[in-house]
Amino acid sequence: MAHETVEKTPVTLLGLGAMGAALARAWLAAGHPLTVWNRTPARAAGISAEGATVANSAAEAVAANTLVVVCLLDDASVEEVLAGADLAGRDLVNLTTGTPAQARARADWARERGARYLDGGIMAVPPMIGVPDAGGYVFYSGSGELFERHQATLGVPAGTTYVGRDAGFAALHDVALLSAMYGMFAGAAHAFALIRREDIDPASLAPLLADWLVAMAPTVHQTADQLRSGDYTKGVASNLAMQVAGTPTFLRTAAEQGVSPELLSPYFELMRRRLAEGSGEEDLTGVIDLLVR
């Protein structure tokens, strides 16, 4: 019986840093013809040995294939690397981390040069790339048609989540999730600091902390529901008045343990401000409105 051979979309990849190299290996492992370029040529040697074609310049790499993926340090390096390339007719996918405004400007910039544009925000670290069960994925935004055309190829290194035609939305979702992550890191840092000088094994606190954070995480759905309805008292389990009344205990405990309250205090201050506006029956959701200027 004859087997149908499915042609894999050829990919050009600019940038072979930690993330770029992981992306390259995933496409090569899946059988995609791959052309690569990196500013420091030595970084391409391993990828070349694994089957990639190494271009002599970024312009040569861009000329090799319609689908051009860029994964560089920052937006300035994207500008620098693509400056001499002919982008007309190219499908440019930019996986470089940047701000929403940078992504929108880069989309306009690409369109002016005759390219279609998709921006991406990578929600993964390099070891998660090419590992389907690792949970990594990439936010995409910009041309919906481009996303549909290349979804299968883009889905090889990690999952794909398209968040809209606005080219800035992938970066916005990326930064929103990572900002929440840093808030979580800050809370965990404070928790570990509290036990730092005690005879408590951090390894015994860690699973308790992880389970508690997981148990609390679904509260974001209630927050979203309250933001949509505008009713911040809907389904409140622990109202703001009660929570503000509890904050001195947290601050006194920090003082007793010799721990700086600098990570917690700004949030407590916002809670107090919202309470002072007469919102004691609400959830913590009103804090969000204090942040939005």
How many chain residues interact with ligand FVH (CB under 6 A)? 22
Residue choice 20, 130, 136, 168 for contact with ligand FVH (CB under 6 A): 20
At closest approach, how far in Å is the CB of 138 from ligand FVH? 9
At closest approach, how far in Å is the CB of 33 from ligand FVH? 20
SS (H, E, C) the chain: CCCCCCCCCCEEEECCCHHHHHHHHHHHHCCCCEEEECCCHHHHHHHHHCCCEECCCHHHHHHHCCEEEECCCCHHHHHHHHCCCCCCCCEEEECCCCCHHHHHHHHHHHHHCCCEEEEEEEECCHHHCCCHHHCCEEEEEECHHHHHHHHHHHCCCCEEEECCCCCCHHHHHHHHHHHHHHHHHHHHHHHHHHHCCCCCCHHHHHHHHHHHHHHHCCHHHHHHHHHHHCCCCCCCCCCHHHHHHHHHHHHHHHHHCCCCCCCCHHHHHHHHHHHHCCCCCCCCCHHHHHHCC
Nearer to ligand FVH, 168 or 286 (CB): 168
Residue choice 97, 102, 226, 239 for contact with ligand FVH (CB under 6 A): 97
Select from 11-19, 142-150, 240-248, 257-265 the region that touches ligand FVH (CB under 6 A). Answer: 11-19
125 contacts ligand FVH (rule: CB under 6 A) = yes
175 contacts ligand FVH (rule: CB under 6 A) = no
35 contacts ligand FVH (rule: CB under 6 A) = no
Residue choice 64, 103, 118, 122 for contact with ligand FVH (CB under 6 A): 122
159 contacts ligand FVH (rule: CB under 6 A) = no
40 contacts ligand FVH (rule: CB under 6 A) = yes
Select from 121-129, 144-152, 198-206, 268-276 the region that touches ligand FVH (CB under 6 A). Answer: 121-129
Interface with ligand FVH by CB under 6 A: which residues? 15-20, 38-40, 43, 71-74, 77, 80-81, 96-97, 122, 125-126
